[in-house]
Amino acid sequence: MKQSTIQQRQVPTLDLYSGIKKGESWAFDYIYKLVYASHQYELKGDTNLAFDLYQDVILDLFLRIKENRLEKRTLETDGMIISWIKQHLEWKRNDHWKKSATKYNDRLDMVIHEPYTARAAEAEMLLYYKDLLMIINTLSATYDDLLRLKLVEDIAWQTIYLRYPSENKGSLRVKFSNMIKTLREILLSDFHF
């Protein structure tokens, strides 16, 4: 019986506050085992984020204790430290979620508006081509096909020359150029660009 009493007295009681202040690894291991798993669970297993937030809180705790900005209490110091860590981890998670929600909402707005903007541009282009085709149809019947082939279908000149074998290549280009001028004048007068 005397031996067990002596052995008990020889084993120093571990003080978490002092262990953190001295930077002893057992203190940080103890905190990690008590707090980290539930903290990581709250972040849905995002290990990188969980570790970053945890490190921020532990570093803040260490500096506060080292600089005596977090006072040691005589009773329940360990419980106070663990509660402090849990509360600060919760605040860090909430800050992260608020920032993420803002970024997520911004990205969501972009996702919603991008397709709408693309469809609006397509509709505008479609209406423009429809108007353009109506104007081309009012031009001379001989060369409205030439404008349609080059402007709308964007066919190469070599292919167009094959469609008009009796026409001179140079005169086809001159006629096309003249029709473009006419088309431009009509568009400017009708749409007031």
Residue entry with tokens 């082939």: 149
pLDDT per residue as tens, the chain (193 positions): 445 444 443 434 678 888 898 989 999 999 999 999 888 888 887 888 889 999 999 999 999 888 888 877 766 778 889 889 999 999 998 888 887 775 555 555 555 555 666 666 666 666 666 666 676 667 666 567 777 777 777 788 888 888 888 888 888 888 888 887 877 777 777 654 4
pTM of the model: 0.47
Query: How many Cβ atoms from other residues are within 10 Å of residue 20's Cβ?
Result: 21
How confident is the model at residue 193, as a pLDDT?
44
Instruction: Give the residue extent of every domain in the chain.
Output: 2-110, 139-191
Residues 6+ apart with CB under 8 A from 139: 147, 179, 182, 183
Q: Which of these, 128, 130, 132, lies nearest to 147 by C-alpha position?
A: 132
Give the burial class of 113: count Cβ atoms within 10 A of its Cβ; 0-12 exposed, 13-18 middle, 19 or more buried.
exposed
Longest CA pairwise span in the chain (Å):
123
The Cβ-side half-sphere exposure at 162, using a 13 Å CA radius, reads 4
